[in-house]
Amino acid sequence: MVEKKLESKMAAVDVAKAAENLRNLKLSGHVGFDSLPDQLVNKSVQQGFIFNILCIGETGLGKSTLVDSLFNTNFDSSPAPHTLPSVKLKSHTYELQESSVRLKLTIVDTVGYGDQINKEDSFKSIVDYIDAQFEAYLQEELKIKRSLSMYHDTRTHVCLYFICPTGHGLKSIDLVCMKQLDTKVNIIPIIAKADTISKTELQKFKAKIIQELNANGVRLYKFPTDDESVSEVNSQMNSHVPFAVVGSSDFVRVGNKMTRARQYPWGTVEVENEAHCDFKKLREMLIRTNMEDMREKTHTQHYELYRKKRLEQMGFSDVDSENKPVSFQESFQNKRSNHLQELQKQEDEMRQLFIVRVKEKEAEIKEAEADLQAKFERLKREHAEEKRKLEDSRRQLEEDIIEFNRRKQQFATLGNSHTLTLGKSKKK
Ligand SMILES: Nc1nc2c(ncn2[C@@H]2O[C@H](COP(=O)(O)OP(=O)(O)OP(=O)(O)O)[C@@H](O)[C@H]2O)c(=O)[nH]1
Ligand SMILES: [Mg+2]
């Protein structure tokens, strides 16, 4: 399969060469760079791989059971309560190994999804989580001293969207959420607990889901068909989406083999039996055929879009206002000079504002001073008036005292002469 992929990539390289007008040279002997693909494989195997899955679905839809079934292990998850006031994202990372290949697998669960009365914002914490992982990667990329090879890349490579097996089409929360996420992550919708829906209903249900997704312009992850080696199986599988899956943690003996299955009074549903459900198709597409494509699309499409928007937000651009290419340095210098100009403008505005304020305050102080002066003058006048009145009263009092004393004197003199007259008459 690797060889076929290489062949188709080399054909693309030939076309590029022709466009660039490069000369094709023949080697006269073995040089050895044909070992490059092996070198690449060895290096990748040494480094190990990272894959991050986001499971979105209502509480109890069988998310944990399905992931356990997919990786044939038990991730020890605990059931979520139905009482959370908002959706929370919980991530767990595991180290898995299959032959010599190590896989650092992160499984992110949306705890409490669909349990709120108001479901309008259910997607918000999911969008924030995905963006936060992109942002962390961008920050690492922008560092002067980067260590991307050691970096634990937590960007979401695939979103398994669990659809409730109602048979009635999608709920509005499904459409709103998938629409919000379709430019940020590779979405694979799956019908959960598909054993609870009959075969004929399932076909109608699938068709209804696809029709609703198309009508709302929701873009799903398409298994790539440009690579010859997998184009046939992938294009076939694209027509099976959404996969109707069944998960189980129980094993039942079928023939002489223990197999993952759900046992009911009327029969057994085998997880890996293609006549019973699409579990095998999902595992084939998700893990065995397209894991690398999802990792690549996450980096080249979804992250690229996020990075572009963020850098534009920061004021960077590849072209100037006249659509001429500008370098990162020019862009930075323009941004810096704009920033300095803006600062200068703000400083001038503040200075102007300060002058206006000072003038206002001065006028206020002058007014208060004039008020104070007028008050002082009035008080001075009142004081003088009061003083004059007091002076008049004092003068009046003094005159009264003089008059009083004069009268007293007069009275005393009058009293004396009266006593003398009385004495004379007594003698008689
Ligand atoms: N009928 C049916 N039941 C299933 C299936 N998968 C899981 N279940 C059952 O559904 C219940 C919930 O399964 P979980 O895997 O814990 O569901 P979950 O979505 O992880 O639940 P939370 O993490 O609590 O949100 C368990 O009783 C499972 O046995 C399925 O494919 N069909
Ligand atoms: Mg769970």
Measured by CA distance, the residue closest to atom 6 of ligand 1 is 62
DSSP state of 22: P
End-to-end CA distance of the chain: 175
Ligand nearest to the CA of 192: 1
Measured by CA distance, the residue closest to atom 25 of ligand 1 is 59
Query: How far is Cα 191 from Cα 163, in angstroms, rounded to an integer?
Result: 5
pLDDT at 84: 73
Ligand nearest to the CA of 79: 1
Ligand nearest to the CA of 243: 1
- Ligand 1 atom closest to the Cα of residue 81 is 24
pLDDT at 325: 78
User: In sequence order, what are the residues at sequence separation of 6 or more whose Cβ sits closer than 8 angstroms to the Cβ of residue 276?
Assistant: 195, 246, 269, 270
Instruction: Find, among 180, 169, 204, 72, the residue nearest to 129 by Cα.
Output: 180
Write the CA distances from 189 to 113, 116, 156, 186, integer angstroms. 16, 22, 15, 10
Q: Which two tokens stand for residue 358?
A: 């000072």
The tens digit of pLDDT for each residue in 252-270 reads 988 888 999 999 998 899 9
- Ligand 1 atom closest to the Cα of residue 58 is 25
Ligand 2 centre to CA of 62 (Å) is 7
Ligand 2 centre to CA of 60 (Å) is 7
- Ligand 1 atom closest to the Cα of residue 162 is 19
Query: How far is Cα 41 from Cα 246, in angstroms, rounded to an integer?
Result: 34
Are the beta carbons of 40 and 110 closer than 8 angstroms? no
Q: With a cut of 50, which residues of the chain have pLDDT below it?
A: 427-428
Instruction: Find, among 251, 203, 302, the residue nearest to 68 by Cα.
Output: 251
Ligand 2 centre to CA of 75 (Å) is 10
Ligand 2 centre to CA of 93 (Å) is 15
| String of DSSP letters for 163-214 | EP--SS---HHHHHHHHHHTTTS-EEEEETTGGGS-HHHHHHHHHHHHHHHH
Measured by CA distance, the residue closest to atom 12 of ligand 1 is 60
Measured by CA distance, the residue closest to atom 7 of ligand 1 is 62
Measured by CA distance, the residue closest to atom 21 of ligand 1 is 60
Instruction: Find, among 55, 135, 138, 136, the residue nearest to 90 by Cα.
Output: 55
Ligand nearest to the CA of 263: 1
Instruction: Find, among 114, 134, 125, the residue nearest to 174 by Cα.
Output: 114
Which residue type occupies 414?
L
Distance of CA 228 to the CA centre of its chain: 39
Ligand 1 centre to CA of 330 (Å) is 56
Ligand nearest to the CA of 271: 1
pLDDT at 21: 80
The residue to mutate among 54, 63, 65, 263, having the most atoms of ligand 1 within 8 angstroms of its beta carbon, is 65
Query: How far is Cα 107 from Cα 156, in angstroms, rounded to an integer?
Result: 9
Ligand 1 centre to CA of 59 (Å) is 8
Measure the CA dihedral 145/49/285/159, to 10°. Answer: -50
Upper half-sphere CA count for residue 13 (Cβ side, 13 Å): 8
pLDDT at 12: 67
- Ligand 1 atom closest to the Cα of residue 192 is 31
pLDDT at 428: 46
DSSP state of 319: B
pLDDT at 51: 97
pTM, 2 dp: 0.77
pLDDT at 33: 93
Measure the CA dihedral 358/363/365/367, to 10°. Answer: -170
Ligand 1 centre to CA of 109 (Å) is 13
Ligand 1 centre to CA of 61 (Å) is 5
| Ligand 1 pocket at CB < 6 A | 57, 59-65, 77, 79-80, 109, 193, 195-196, 246-247, 262
Are the beta carbons of 208 and 175 closer than 8 angstroms? no
Ligand 2 centre to CA of 283 (Å) is 19
